[in-house]
Amino acid sequence: MTGTSQAVQSDGGLSHDVPRHVAIIMDGNGRWATARGLPRFEGHRRGVEALRRAVRIAGDVGIDVLTVYAFSSENWKRPQSEIAELMGLLKLFVRRDLAELHRNNVRVRSIGERQTLAPDLRGLIEEAEHLTRANTKMTLVIAFNYGARDELTRAMRQLARSALSGGLDPESITDQTISSVLDAPDLPDPDLIIRTSGEQRLSNFLLWQAAYAEFVFLPVLWPDFDRAHFDEALAAYRNRERRFGGVDREEKLAAVGGAGG
């Protein structure tokens, strides 16, 4: 994911009503279930329903790219039974929802390491990407078996291989070269990253791409996430002043002698 955000392209960072790319760390399924005396799986199952809602809302409000963190490269530390449940839910989601996503003109993509995934799961992901590749309304990126350090490690290996084989001059490497070997180099960086459940950390999500993202942390547990929460995050985003290292709006206008005009 690289490229310039819509805000910068349009007017130098001044207006950004609707984020072009929203990324969500869908957290709190386990706590949601535990609070109700239910098995964690029930929280994950309800989490998939919240994901369906989020996709629908993102499409409604005109977001171009929605990335969701579904399984991290560190989530393998969980009990085997929970891992199996999460794999099963992703398969079920793709099988059940693919046709509707396709009908709704949603392009499905995935980021993360896939070589080590079970072949049937990998096959489903590839099928979803292939079927929906020409869709244009919105791109849904599923981060599965994803870790930013793993993504960057794989990218560095690729650059090192190119350098060793003689094609790549190390001095020619720029930040764009690095972006170009990440998992979704054609997509813009996230403008807004939402994390639910009250935790305030990235947990190895999009470390490189999040350089200028706005962060919104919400206390709601993911299975309860609905339109009101999404609106709240979008409203918070609208009120942020994105400067990308520059100066703010008033100062910029004053500097060109255009304040008030």
Among 51, 70, 192, 234, binds ligand IPE (CB under 6 A): 70
- Dihedral sign, Cα of residue 21, residue 215, residue 156, residue 123: negative
Per-residue interface string for the shown chain with ligand IPE, residues 85-104, x marking contact by CB under 6 A = -x------------------
Residue 223 DSSP SS3: helix
Per-residue interface string for the shown chain with Mg ion, residues 20-39, x marking contact by CB under 5 A = -------x------------
In the complex, what is the shortest distance from the CB of residue 90 to ligand IPE, in angstroms, rounded to a whole number?
A: 10
In the complex, what is the shortest distance from the CB of residue 223 to ligand IPE, in angstroms, rounded to a whole number?
A: 9
Residue 233 DSSP SS3: helix
182 close to 204: Cβ distance less than 8 angstroms? no
Q: In whole angstroms, what is the distance from residue 97 CA to residue 48 CA?
A: 11
Q: Please indicate whether residue 27 is annotated as part of the active site.
A: yes
Determine the interface stretch with ligand IPE among 48-56, 57-65, 70-78, 95-103 (rule: CB under 6 A): 70-78
Among 1, 22, 23, 28, binds ligand IPE (CB under 6 A): 28
Q: Is 48 an interacting residue with respect to ligand IPE (CB under 6 A)? A: no
Q: Is 225 an interacting residue with respect to ligand IPE (CB under 6 A)? A: no
Phi, psi of 47 (to 5 degrees): -65, -35
Instruction: Name the residue with tokens 């979008």.
Output: 234
Per-residue interface string for the shown chain with ligand IPE, residues 175-214, x marking contact by CB under 6 A = ----------------------x-x-x-x-----------
In the complex, what is the shortest distance from the CB of residue 28 to ligand IPE, in angstroms, rounded to a whole number?
A: 4
Determine the interface stretch with ligand IPE among 28-36, 101-109, 155-163, 231-239 (rule: CB under 6 A): 28-36
Residue 63 tokens, joined: 């977001």
Report the half-sphere exposure of 241 (CA within 13 A, side-chain side): 9
In this complex, which beta carbon is closest to Mg ion, that of residue 12 or of residue 219? Answer: 219
29, 75, 186, 204: the catalytic one is: 75
Could you tell me how many residues make up the chain? 261
Q: In whole angstroms, what is the distance from residue 145 CA to residue 44 CA?
A: 16
Q: Please indicate whether residue 105 is annotated as part of the active site.
A: no
187 close to 63: Cβ distance less than 8 angstroms? no
Q: In whole angstroms, what is the distance from residue 202 CA to residue 30 CA?
A: 18
Order the strands of the 106-111 sheet from edge to edge: 106-111, 138-146, 65-72, 21-25, 192-195, 214-217
Q: Is 71 an interacting residue with respect to ligand IPE (CB under 6 A)? A: yes
Catalytic residue numbers, as ranges: 27, 75
Q: Which residues contact Mg ion (rule: CB under 5 A)?
A: 27
Q: Which residues contact ligand IPE (rule: CB under 6 A)?
A: 25-31, 69-72, 75, 86, 197, 199, 201, 203, 222
